[in-house]
Amino acid sequence: MFNETMLSTTKLKSSRRVSSRRVDPTLPTMYDLPYENPLTDDMPDYFHQIQPQLLNETFVPPNYPYQQVLVATDLYLYYDLEHTLWYKRPDWFAVLGVPRGQTVSELRYSYVMWQEKVAPYLIVELLSTGTEAEDLGKPQKPSRQPLNSPAQPQPPRKWEVYERILQVPYYLVYSRKSLKLQAFQLVNGRYQEVEITGQGFWLPEVQLGIGLWAGRYQEWKGQWLRFYDAQGSWLPTEAETRHSAEQRADAEAQARHSAEQRADAEAQARHSAEQRADAEAQARHSAEQQAIAAEAARQAEAQARHSAEQRAAVLEAELARLKALLEQ
């Protein structure tokens, strides 16, 4: 497996190649070199516009700062100091350890190796009928030179540039027609195809994998290239992140509403309990008042009986006295 040491070595090799001699300050920069060709017939289809967006959104290495990861789509990649107008235009590529930029003025017109000095870490090409041979390094018919004209140096093909000149550690090719993903890893300076098993192809230096995901991206449903994490979870897109945030906000709002309802129910229960307690206290107070009144009535009745008994005793004593006088 390609490790971080090999990656660093590759970066150094790539940097050494373009900076082995002092860079002439008169060499063209990205501001001087062409970055679009209106005469080309190599126009990408709509898939070539949509698929890189998904790669951009999901290529988020957990071990690299966001501002030190550059991703690019159809950006001119200049690679040769001897032929400063030679370039390749990968469908998508990622570079590690270069500033991403934070302002519009820092957006790159192109990627110029003798300025950047760091080769791409990963390149992805999306196959089309016109580019398949070029992307896979297959033999092509040599271009014809006009008779009696001096031979002009021809730029190397993509495969040679990625493998031999830039020494890009990983090169992936995907055909949306056959749904076939091919992965090539740089081993001893040559690309070796790696069999893809399971979910996809693992990139240890960035702790991410890339594989085919079946789903709907934007408004299009199908098989898409997408990155996943060490747990095998597909990294979310911006829309999915927003949707998850909205779902969490809705769930939190629902939880707050439920908590408020529970609080209201508890407050109502407390109010009912307080009302019952007040009623019970009032009932106890009434019962105590009734008991006091009953006790007062009992005491009054007892007092009345006692007074009646006293009067009866006085009368009996008086009768006894009168009876004694009569008997004399």
CA nearest to 214, candidates 49, 56, 54, 60: 54
Asked which of 31-35, 40-44, 253-257 is least confident by mean pLDDT, the reply is 40-44
Instruction: State whether residue 112 is helix, strand or coil.
Output: strand
Mean pLDDT throughout 273-289?
Answer: 91
CA nearest to 129, candidates 176, 63, 183: 176
Instruction: State whether residue 310 is helix, strand or coil.
Output: helix
What pLDDT, on the 0 to 100 scale, is given for residue 143?
Answer: 55
Query: Does the pLDDT value for residue 32 go beyond 90?
Result: no
What pLDDT, on the 0 to 100 scale, is given for residue 307?
Answer: 87
Mean pLDDT throughout 237-244?
Answer: 91
pLDDT tens for each residue of 125-179: 999 877 777 788 776 665 555 555 566 789 999 999 999 999 999 999 999 999 9
Query: Does the pLDDT value for residue 288 go beyond 70?
Result: yes
Beta bridge partners of 192: 185
Which residue is listed with tokens 């007040």? 278
Q: How many angstroms from the chain centroid is the CA of residue 151? A: 53
Asked which of 16-25, 197-206, 281-290, 296-305 is least confident by mean pLDDT, the reply is 16-25
What pLDDT, on the 0 to 100 scale, is given for residue 3?
Answer: 40
What pLDDT, on the 0 to 100 scale, is given for residue 128?
Answer: 81
As a whole number of angstroms, the distance between CA 48 and CA 35 comes to: 18
CA nearest to 165, candidates 128, 183, 191: 191
Q: Are strands 190-194 and 200-203 parallel, antiparallel or unpaired?
A: unpaired
Query: Does the pLDDT value for residue 312 go beyond 90?
Result: no
What pLDDT, on the 0 to 100 scale, is given for residue 21?
Answer: 39
Third-level CATH fold of 4-136+155-235: tt1808, chain A (3.90.1570)
Mean pLDDT throughout 192-217?
Answer: 96
Q: Are 77 and 110 in contact (CB under 8 A)?
A: yes
What pLDDT, on the 0 to 100 scale, is given for residue 9?
Answer: 39
Mean pLDDT throughout 178-202?
Answer: 95
Question: Mean pLDDT over all residues of the chain?
Answer: 86
Helices (H), the chain: 4-19, 46-58, 113-116, 132-136, 158-160, 238-327
What pLDDT, on the 0 to 100 scale, is given for residue 2?
Answer: 36
What pLDDT, on the 0 to 100 scale, is given for residue 297?
Answer: 87
Q: Are strands 170-175 and 122-126 parallel, antiparallel or unpaired?
A: parallel
Widest CA span in the chain: 191
Q: Give percent of the chain above pLDDT 90.
A: 59
Asked which of 38-52, 95-109, 117-131, 208-222 is least confident by mean pLDDT, the reply is 38-52
Work out the pLDDT band at 52, boundaries 50, 70, 90: very high
What pLDDT, on the 0 to 100 scale, is given for residue 256?
Answer: 93
Work out the pLDDT band at 14, boundaries 50, 70, 90: very low
Work out the pLDDT band at 16, boundaries 50, 70, 90: very low
What pLDDT, on the 0 to 100 scale, is given for residue 29?
Answer: 80
What pLDDT, on the 0 to 100 scale, is given for residue 75?
Answer: 96
What pLDDT, on the 0 to 100 scale, is given for residue 27?
Answer: 82
Q: Are 100 and 70 in contact (CB under 8 A)?
A: yes
What pLDDT, on the 0 to 100 scale, is given for residue 201?
Answer: 97
Work out the pLDDT band at 183, boundaries 50, 70, 90: very high
Beta bridge partners of 142: none
What is the CA angle 226-229-231, rounded to 5? 130
Q: How many angstroms from the chain centroid is the CA of residue 180? A: 27
Contacts of 48 (CB under 8 A, 6+ apart): 74, 91, 126, 128
As a whole number of angstroms, the distance between CA 160 and CA 140 comes to: 13
Q: What is the pTM of this model?
A: 0.69
